[in-house]
Structure 1
Amino acid sequence: MARILIGVMGPGESATVDENMTAYTLGQAIAQQGWGLLTGGRAVGVMAAASTGAQASNGWVVGILPDADDTQMSAAVDIAIVTGMGQGRNVINVLSSHVVIACGLGPGTLAEMALALKLGKPLILLNIHPEIAEMLSTLSTTPIAIASTVEAAIAQTQTFLSQ
């Protein structure tokens, strides 16, 4: 059986301090569950924070990089997938994740959330604006959950994985 990969999607350069702190804690919690972490792989924002958190808890990290090389890769990525696809790599991010957790909001994150809905992947919205969460919920025909803490996001991930 394939190992479990949890995708954490969130803003890069525009990530707030709070989003990065939450992503770090989320990365730690994912690693503590024995799951792998999948991110966009770059050394900025939520991607870097979640990856660093996972590594701090002896987890493993897959980074799906947008460029044709690994020059922007986070040092906390264990397995780099170099795509040369730019934002098109978001499809790989979503399809390769057993569950997608959105942590923060940016245009790329919104695209990944929409792809999760379109491709039927369970989606957890962690600290996402209520208006965005409501809109996505009305569009969803697949599992979607709203979490306000890392602990709630992990509990919901466990629920999705058991279904």
Structure 2
Amino acid sequence: MTNAFELGQRIAEAGWVLLTGGRASGVMDAASRGAKAAGGLTIGILPTSDRAGMSAAVDIPIITDLGHARNTLNILSSQVVIACGMGAGTASEVALAIKAERSVILLNPGTESAAFFCGLSHRVMTANSPEVAIDLTRKFLDCTNPP
């Protein structure tokens, strides 16, 4: 969770808004807490019909009652998707991001995850630290928002 907390901090320090699944567990909570610690704005797109289980570090909760289908909202609302860890939910979000032609950064992915997702799209990159993930994010944003 150290990477997620630092990633949240770095996102806030860059002046970006952090969007997560909003729950009070795992990477979602750690990234939100990191962003709040750095004075950032956090949005949580929650899968339930209420705020139960929401991270205390979420400023703007979006209540969806969509369950896992809310992952589509997470992806379509993001310019760049950073995956920190790789469980089934994260893998589904990465796949949705590739389908939606979003840029994706896999932070410290396993060898198999990196090979699989990088093989699906040239928009998928890997990073070995939150700092590298932020540098890649800047590059992706510069390509999509030229001066």
TM-score (norm 1): 0.86
Give matches, 1:132-147, under 5 Å: 132-140=113-121, 142-147=122-127
Q: Which residue of 1 aligns with 2:55?
A: 74
Q: Which residue of 2 aligns with 1:14?
A: none
Give matches, 1:3-152, under 5 Å: 20-140=1-121, 142-152=122-132
* Distance in 2 between residues matched to 1:77 and 1:56, nearest whole Å: 12
Q: CA offset at residue 40 of structure 1?
A: 0.2
**1:129-154 per-position Cα deviation (integer Å, ceiling 9, x unaligned):** 021111111111x5111100111000
* Distance in 2 between residues matched to 1:150 and 1:50, nearest whole Å: 11
Q: CA offset at residue 72 of structure 1?
A: 1.0
Q: Which residue of 1 aligns with 2:133?
A: 153
* Distance in 1 between residues matched to 2:38 and 2:51, nearest whole Å: 24
Q: Which has the higher contact order (CA 8 A, sep 6+)?
A: 1
* Distance in 2 between residues matched to 1:55 and 1:102, nearest whole Å: 19
* Distance in 2 between residues matched to 1:145 and 1:139, nearest whole Å: 11
The residue type equivalent to 1:131 in the other structure is E
SS of match in other structure, 1:41? coil
Moved over 2 A (4+): none
